[in-house]
Amino acid sequence: MYQLKFDEKRCLACPDGACLVQCQYLKYEADPARKEMVKIFRGEDSPVLQDCVTCYACEEYCKRGNHPFYLINERRENKGILTAPRAITRQWIHIGEPKGKYELGRIGKIALSFGFMPQLKEITKGRLFEDVMPSYFFGQEFFCNVVYIHFANTDVFKERLPMVIENIHKLGVEEVVFLHDECYAAFTSLAPAYGMEVPFKSVHYFEYLYNRLTALKDLIRPLNVKVVYQRPCSNRLCGDSHLFVQKIMDRIGATLVQRTYQDETALCCGSIFRAMYGYDLMADVQGRNLEDMAQSGAEYCIFNCHGCMNALSPLVAARGMTPLHLIDLCRMAIGETPEGGQ
């Protein structure tokens, strides 16, 4: 079984304990933060193992190349600390087994990955994707299984991710553009952290979008709209991609309004909290997030993750903002009408 690469000495030498000090949901000073992470590494009990809400953010806060969230999950699983009722966990694990239905387009050297989200196929239309489509794949055979780290089931993805890597490799692709953060992170963060080799190039669709918008710059008509962006928890596993959000907004003439809960201080959409921790945490996080959005004066709330979009769209609409996927906002900038119209 694959083993996590984690260096205790990096934690001991850490000057700020940022992984826990910056956490939006736990409260630690630097010295206690360092001590708790070392205790966790050594297999000792820690309140962090009970209190972590699986927002993934400590993976981004750690600037020393360690993997605090992956370690927390490893120890939770070792100690049998469940983050959700067993029935919910078993149901999710059964759904994602990489043996079942899948769909392939006309696969070329470059392909789009829709993970396990068929709705992504509906928005990858028009000029932005004409150089790749219809080269795509989605379905259980290609599902990254990263979602199970929300449930402290690291053994599941350690078993399944090599199978998924091989399934993609067999397609003969050289480059894969991933349209979901967790899928991209599976091959650029988790796989390297556990010593798995990935035989194809992984590209985040943010980078792909920015490059396509640059190539199509003569078609762009600045949108001149104010937007807020709901950053999903899964983007914390691939924080380098987040830098493209501002670059894309600048390219299409949209103003990304500054607010309290964005970038490194972003709050989750809350949907995973309901299944794992109950209504109160979800309501608190969503309430603070939505109030922050409403005070921004933005016309649009832009989403990256369909899970976030499903959870928050009715709520942002009730506050006078139009919910829209980032791809659809980009399509508007080049004169196309997104699915559902605008």
**What phi and psi values does residue 203 have, to the nearest 5 degrees?**
-125, 130
DSSP string for 186-221: IIIIIHHHTT----SEEEEHHHHHHHHHHHTGGG--
Do 93 and 75 share a structural domain?
A: no
> Last residue of a domain, which of 45, 79, 113?
79
pLDDT at 329: 98
- 77 close to 153: Cβ distance less than 8 angstroms: yes
| Residue at 296 is within a domain | yes
How many domains, in total, are found in the chain? Answer: 3
Report helix angle 68-79 to 30-41, nearest 10. Answer: 50
Q: Which two tokens stand for residue 8?
A: 């205790």
pLDDT at 340: 54
Do 107 and 75 share a structural domain?
A: no
pLDDT at 254: 98
| Residue at 67 is within a domain | yes
CA angle 127, 337, 290 (to 5 degrees): 110
| Residue at 214 is within a domain | no
Do 321 and 225 share a structural domain?
A: yes
CA angle 42, 48, 49 (to 5 degrees): 70
pLDDT digits (tens, 9 = 90+) for 57-116: 999 999 998 999 999 999 999 999 988 777 677 777 777 787 878 999 999 999 999 988
Q: Is 53 helix (H, G, I), strand (E, B) or coil?
A: coil
pLDDT at 302: 98
Do 104 and 40 share a structural domain?
A: no
Do 225 and 180 share a structural domain?
A: no
| Residue at 338 is within a domain | no
Helical H segments across the chain, by residue range: 8-12, 18-21, 30-41, 47-51, 57-61, 68-79, 86-95, 119-123, 154-169, 181-185, 191-193, 205-215, 243-252, 271-277, 279-294, 306-317, 326-333
pLDDT at 61: 97
pLDDT at 321: 98
Do 247 and 326 share a structural domain?
A: yes
Q: Which two tokens stand for residue 279?
A: 């209504």
CA–CA distance from 116 to each of 45, 139, 143, 147, 162 (Å)? 35, 5, 6, 11, 17
Q: Are strands 175-178 and 225-230 parallel, antiparallel or unpaired?
A: unpaired
pTM: 0.95
3-class SS shares of the chain: helix, strand, coil, % to 5 = 50, 10, 35
Q: Per residue of the chain (342 residues), what is the pLDDT tens digit?
A: 689 999 999 988 999 999 999 999 999 999 999 999 999 999 999 999 999 999 999 999 999 989 999 999 999 999 999 887 776 777 777 777 878 789 999 999 999 999 888 889 999 999 999 999 999 999 999 999 888 888 888 898 899 999 999 999 999 999 999 999 999 999 999 999 999 999 999 999 999 999 999 999 999 999 999 999 999 999 999 999 999 999 999 999 999 999 999 999 999 999 888 777 778 999 999 999 999 999 999 999 999 999 999 999 999 999 999 999 999 999 999 999 986 555
Enclosing domain of residue 312: 219-333
Please, which residues have CB within 8 angstroms of residue 222's CB and are 6 or more apart in sequence? 252, 253, 333
| Residue at 199 is within a domain | yes
CA angle 67, 238, 9 (to 5 degrees): 20
Query: Can you tell me the distance from the alpha carbon of 170 to that of 339, in angstroms, rounded to the nearest whole number?
Result: 32
**What phi and psi values does residue 78 have, to the nearest 5 degrees?**
-60, -35
Name beta bridge partners: 230: 303
Q: Sheet with 136-139: list strands edge to edge.
A: 102-104, 136-139, 110-113, 175-178, 201-204
Query: Can you tell me the distance from the alpha carbon of 273 to that of 284, in angstroms, rounded to the nearest whole number?
Result: 10
pLDDT at 342: 53
> Last residue of a domain, which of 40, 60, 79?
79
- 151 close to 89: Cβ distance less than 8 angstroms: yes
| Residue at 342 is within a domain | no
Do 190 and 136 share a structural domain?
A: yes
| Residue at 42 is within a domain | yes
Do 130 and 59 share a structural domain?
A: no
CA–CA distance from 275 to each of 29, 83, 117, 150 (Å)? 29, 9, 20, 11
Instruction: Quickly count: other Cβ atoms within 10 Å of residue 224's Cβ.
Output: 10
Smallest CA-to-CA distance from 67 within 185, 157, 163, 167 is with: 185
Do 74 and 15 share a structural domain?
A: yes
> Last residue of a domain, which of 46, 79, 112?
79
Q: Which two tokens stand for residue 161?
A: 């991710």
Smallest CA-to-CA distance from 61 within 293, 266, 270 is with: 266
- 119 close to 184: Cβ distance less than 8 angstroms: no
Smallest CA-to-CA distance from 147 within 326, 325, 306 is with: 306
Query: Can you tell me the distance from the alpha carbon of 133 to that of 108, in angstroms, rounded to the nearest whole number?
Result: 9
| Residue at 213 is within a domain | no
Do 247 and 186 share a structural domain?
A: no
Do 71 and 23 share a structural domain?
A: yes
pLDDT at 274: 77
Q: Which CATH number characterizes residue 132's domain?
A: 3.40.50
Do 299 and 273 share a structural domain?
A: yes
Please, which residues have CB within 8 angstroms of residue 314's CB and are 6 or more apart in sequence? none
